[in-house]
Structure 1
Amino acid sequence: MATTYKCHVGIGKKVEGEALVADDNFSARYDLNRIEGVFSRPQHKLYGQQYNGKILVLNTAKGGVASAWMLHEMASRNICPKAIIFNSANTILAQGAALAEMSMVDRFEDGDVTTLFRTGDTLQVDPEAGTVTITNR
């Protein structure tokens, strides 16, 4: 049975994929190896995990302009997440997601995304509708 959660209208197209979840923050600049497609900062809770083609579910975005343009650079090489789901995103990363044509949503009505979703869940992210649906748990 599918479960749908409502969020703020987001950026990008509707996508479906496997969730990779952590109660941690996110910086495309400092947390990722953008060549190998893995989390590379040892202190990150997803250290060593493959992010390419996943739907990342994290607490909040951190970092500035460099983190935003790195999303575009990752997308141009097809080594990037399908979407990013946050409790809250900053405007700079939202601009980066738009530039990268990467789906991104935040501000959920039902609580903390790092507890609503689990690693391995199949999620359908619909930024235009402002919804995320667990299609398989």
Structure 2
Amino acid sequence: MGLSRRERRHYRPITGKAAEHLSDVDGVIVPGGFGYRGIEGKIEAIRFVREERVPYLGICLGMQLGVIEFARNVCGMPEANSTEFAPDTPHPVIDLMPEQESVERLGGTMRLGAYPCVLTPGTLAARA
């Protein structure tokens, strides 16, 4: 399913409580970015849309935050985090690639996805 060029889409930035802004949306996109600013608010918005079954697309950091939200609220790891934001987290569900650890300004330096991916037989991903 794609979007028609004639359809109008409305985009709005979200600030404040997720429920105040997301109760009437058809979908949510959380794009990439770097740094800790706004991370917990984005995770709360991701939790809201997951619980309300609103379609969600996480791109780069947005996907990573989706993993963190799921680990915290579904898998029972309330302190799950990325080592980029919380190096000492007891549940590092996202980790920097070793070759990125010495890079101080990560913006535009990461090229993810150019590696072999092996799917575990019997999983939903393998069946898709």
TMscore range, shorter length: 0.3 to 0.5
**Structure in which a larger fraction of residues adopt helix:** 2
**Structure in which a larger fraction of residues adopt strand:** 1
Relative contact order (C-alpha < 8 Å, sep 6+): which is higher? 1
TM superposition score normalised by structure 2: 0.33
Structure of greater Rg: 2
